[in-house]
Amino acid sequence: MRTAAGMRVLSLDVVAAEREKCEAPVGYCTHCDLGAKSFCSGLSTEQFRRFMTFLGQTSIEPNTTIFREGDTAQHLYEITVGAVKLYKLLSDGRRQIIAFLFPGDFFGLSYNGTYAYTAEAMLPVMVCRFPKRKLDSLFQEIPSLEKKLLGATAQELAAAHDQMLLLGRKTAREKVASFLVMLWDRLCGDSRERHQVINLPMSRSDIADFLGLTIETVSRTLTGFRREGLIALPDINHLLIKQHEALQHIAEGA
């Protein structure tokens, strides 16, 4: 079933049927390749079956708004495929992107009954979706899941602190270097082969709105890094960091 907003919702019957292919004793779902990073990893056979009754899966087309700031918070999401950006709009219409999220990340956390930001898909996205009204019951039955969610909340808080430092105390050159190092470490940190070209799912405008800079400043700084031999830009949507350590020094103000 596909909603008007461009989201394809898989019914629980379909999800349950596909999960019959899973290795239930280790609680691993073949719908994603997150392994131990997935919310459902490590569950017993019975816990995994119970977990399936709470789970919905949704595929989302690029540039689709998943929810808007101020909407009633009905679901919690975990990305299994793709990338999502979170942003807030100022009263004058300006946009501040507060996070770029990738597989394994949660979003939709809320404590006042409404979403505090807008979430938008940057690529074709697949998410696991959990109804907030049922989470308390799920956590009572499977306490380990509540611990995982608390860990995700702590990570979100740490990311907010990093964003405050990025916006408040760094120069434009340090901001762009910090962003590139963060992105590279996030997408390639677990890879043995770091010398690989990565896809940039966000636009130059997105990067500018994340760093609190103009598009011209972002483009000019990236061009400068390329001329210095620190990075390669095969095209507007791809990046290769050639001198990670040097960029790290710039990011730290060294």
Q: Which residues of 15-39 are buried (b: 16+ CB within 10 A; e: fewer)?
A: beeebeebebeebbbebbebeeebb
The token pair at 219 is 């483009």
* Lookup result for tokens 């070209």: 197
**Burial classification of residue 96, based on how many CB atoms lie within 10 Å of its CB (0-12 exposed, 13-18 middle, 19 or more buried):** middle
Q: What is the DSSP letter of 11?
A: P
pLDDT of residue 190: 56
pTM of the prediction?
0.79
Residue type, 7: M
Query: Tell me, what's the pLDDT at 149?
Result: 76
Model pLDDT, residue 141: 80
Q: Give the CA distances from residue 80 to residues 4, 84, 173, in Å, rounded to whole numbers and listed in that order.
A: 22, 11, 32
pLDDT given at position 30: 59
Residue 18's pLDDT is what? 39
CB 198 within 8 A of CB 240: yes
Which of the residues in the chain have pLDDT under 70? 1-33, 35-37, 166, 189-195, 254
Q: Which of 32, 39, 167 is nearest to 99 (CA)?
A: 167
C-alpha pair distances (Å), 96 with each of 6, 110, 199, 210:
24, 19, 22, 6
Could you give phi then psi for residue 252, rounded to 5 degrees? -90, 0
| Position 161, amino acid | H
Using one digit for the tens of pLDDT, what is the confidence trace for 221-253?
A: 999 999 999 999 999 899 999 999 999 999 988
Crossing angle of helices 215-227 and 204-211, in 10° steps, is 100
At 7, which helix (H) or strand (E)? strand 7-10
Domains of the chain: 7-165 (2.60.120.10), 170-251 (1.10.10.10)
